[in-house]
Structure 1
């Protein structure tokens, strides 16, 4: 089928990426990050970043309001749990649909402007959404307390089919199987692989080529009679649906939804992930998301006792000095490390981590060419 057709190199990328994602519990073990909660965050925020990159990486439109769709997805999924069923499938479907509708409305207005004006408009919509969720729409969002499950929730479909009808607070499930721990991780991992494949299709499709043309020179396209608005709006909606899916998965793995998921800092975080990994690349935003979530969860947990263990091989005086210096960059100071990494990447690798990968690959490729050239010359001389 044409839908599953990709260039050969993209199949290789998908296969390697699938192997890396599905073996996370193995290769994250030495890094101390192989526990389900963190791996779920790795996969969920990778979905968020991949979706954001479809808008920012292909069209060049920088949105500072994507956290609004993340929050809408979370609230929708929790309400699906409360009203319909604890099954994750309808919750995720409703999260995607509601986030897509919300993105359609916001994109229709925001895309009337471009550049910094578009960014400010999306930021304004996100902040309005945050304030609505935090204080105005408290009957729907439960305000600062966050929307949570309760034993008294109707759950109409579960009651109808006599599934999980006890008064205890239930857990999300998938086709009757409770999702928790590694089960939740592998659900998120499989969904990440599916949406990554869809992103590959978008990147290699004529639609993706048109989005690249918009990024390259939208004015020239307009002068040639091409209406770019439907393309940019479609990219905005698709990107918002990715964010809604990520928000729904956050609710599946931890069934509550709070207004903090709509804050501008969450929107800024996905921008940081994308730039750090590499704007316009498929793998880059995923790497950026993993790196930031690793620093947020691992570096922030380091304390003086752990640092003393790492620097135990040093003499006492030097060890204390090293612990004092290192403690400023971990624990509560992990944001300093994040900022330094971002500065170094932007200054020396403007294309993100993937630019560094390309440089290393080209360096080894040039070295191989230089090694092959003398061999060819010597062969020709012998002849």
Structure 2
């Protein structure tokens, strides 16, 4: 028997050994990924009718989508709730701005340095924090984040520029580009300025890549191990399985995602401030993940989009806008509706978000994705009943 024949048989046996369910699942994942990529790249088009198609907002959707996907790898898969992920967001921003100041305005090195710096920082914090679990782990991460915020705000002023924030300056060396000759330079991707919609597409491509990597992690043996740790870490420890390297790896990967999101913030707006490291930013990504659906791939992205939409659209509503929305009603009813809705929009948008979050937690513990799943199941049942 020839070597070519043996190789052919081996390939055939390997293909035959793949379960049909795994093949179908892989095909389904790739279809979902393709739909996700198309939806992300066309966001400015289908978000325009609801007033969210402008560059600044779709950039935020993409950036915080990356942030939430990374947080979900730690919280959704492993079950470790971190209240300090904003520290990695800030480190990524600072590293990216320093790359712009010292090396070049090209965004690629900035993103690389942001991811690496956040990964190293996450390794240090995770090594200490993961010695505890549960609420003690959460409090440790919160403490480290607040220490990082205070260091960036005061002690490390030569590096972070304190409360003013780290910004570009005319005298920055930029050893690869040279100092600016007239006015501050803009960020570029190999010569193309990343301002406006080009900046969004840089963020969108990174979101697609981040989603694909998270999908591969979730479906891998490593992802299965993380879910097993979330299910019953004590039982795994009793069997002699060392879970520490896996939880630390998940923590570092999650921190690197946050660093990528932070560096993209600097890409679209080249400055970095300590406010990005505050505990409120860490709490925000927790809300995004829970709202969209903990442990799902798409849920954190949806949660990020919902919260950023509320923050940027609902917060801009005033009585005049509400009047135009209800102008089809008689004047008395119009005034009544404006009076009733007014406390929930504008400066009161947090109240609306709180109500939505409360309803989701009570009726859809699995987040928006659970609601979508229920609707899909109901549609499937109705179709099957019609066909029968």
- TM-score (normalizing by structure 2): 0.92
Matched residue of 2:195: which SS?
Answer: coil
Which has the higher mean CA deviation after the structures are superposed, 308-317 or 183-192?
308-317
The separation in 1 between residues aligned to 2:286 and 2:123, in whole angstroms, is: 20
Query: Following superposition of structure 1 onto structure 2, how do residues 127-146 of structure 1 map, counting pairs within 5 Å?
Result: 127-146=146-165
- Note the alpha carbon deviations across 1:175-224, whole angstroms, 9 max, x for none: 12111111000010011101110000000000000000000000111111
Query: Following superposition of structure 1 onto structure 2, how do residues 219-230 of structure 1 map, counting pairs within 5 Å?
Result: 219-230=234-245
Q: Which residue of 1 aligns with 2:106?
A: 87
Q: Which residue of 1 aligns with 2:203?
A: 188
The separation in 2 between residues aligned to 1:234 and 1:208, in whole angstroms, is: 11
The separation in 2 between residues aligned to 1:167 and 1:72, in whole angstroms, is: 29
1:271 has 2:282 as partner:
no
- Note the alpha carbon deviations across 1:66-85, whole angstroms, 9 max, x for none: 00000000000001101111
Structure 1 ranges of 4+ moved more than 4 A? none
1:287 has 2:306 as partner:
no
Matched residue of 1:216: which SS?
Answer: helix
Q: Which residue of 2 aligns with 1:125?
A: 144
The separation in 2 between residues aligned to 1:227 and 1:280, in whole angstroms, is: 22
Query: How much does 1:150 deviate?
Result: 0.7
Matched residue of 2:343: which SS?
Answer: coil
The separation in 1 between residues aligned to 2:153 and 2:373, in whole angstroms, is: 44
Matched residue of 2:35: which SS?
Answer: helix
Query: Contact 1:152–1:167 at 8 Å: present in 2 too?
Result: no
Query: Following superposition of structure 1 onto structure 2, how do residues 31-70 of structure 1 map, counting pairs within 5 Å?
Result: 31-70=50-89
Aligned length: 365
The separation in 1 between residues aligned to 2:95 and 2:150, in whole angstroms, is: 17
Matched residue of 2:53: which SS?
Answer: coil
Q: Which residue of 2 aligns with 1:73?
A: 92
Query: How much does 1:318 deviate?
Result: 1.9
Matched residue of 2:131: which SS?
Answer: coil
Query: Following superposition of structure 1 onto structure 2, how do residues 130-279 of structure 1 map, counting pairs within 5 Å?
Result: 130-159=149-178, 165-279=180-294
Query: Contact 2:104–2:174 at 8 Å: present in 1 too?
Result: yes
User: What residue ranges of structure 2 are gaps of 5+ in the alignment?
Assistant: 1-22
- Note the alpha carbon deviations across 1:341-379, whole angstroms, 9 max, x for none: 00000000000000001111111222233334xx4xxxx
Q: Which residue of 1 aligns with 2:360?
A: 345
- Note the alpha carbon deviations across 1:88-142, whole angstroms, 9 max, x for none: 0111000000000000000000000000000000000000000111111111111
The separation in 1 between residues aligned to 2:379 and 2:56, in whole angstroms, is: 38
1:362 has 2:381 as partner:
no
Q: Which residue of 1 aligns with 2:135?
A: 116
Matched residue of 2:280: which SS?
Answer: helix
Query: Following superposition of structure 1 onto structure 2, how do residues 310-349 of structure 1 map, counting pairs within 5 Å?
Result: 310-349=325-364
Query: How much does 1:327 deviate?
Result: 1.2
The separation in 1 between residues aligned to 2:66 and 2:181, in whole angstroms, is: 34
User: What residue ranges of structure 1 are gaps of 5+ in the alignment?
Assistant: 376-383
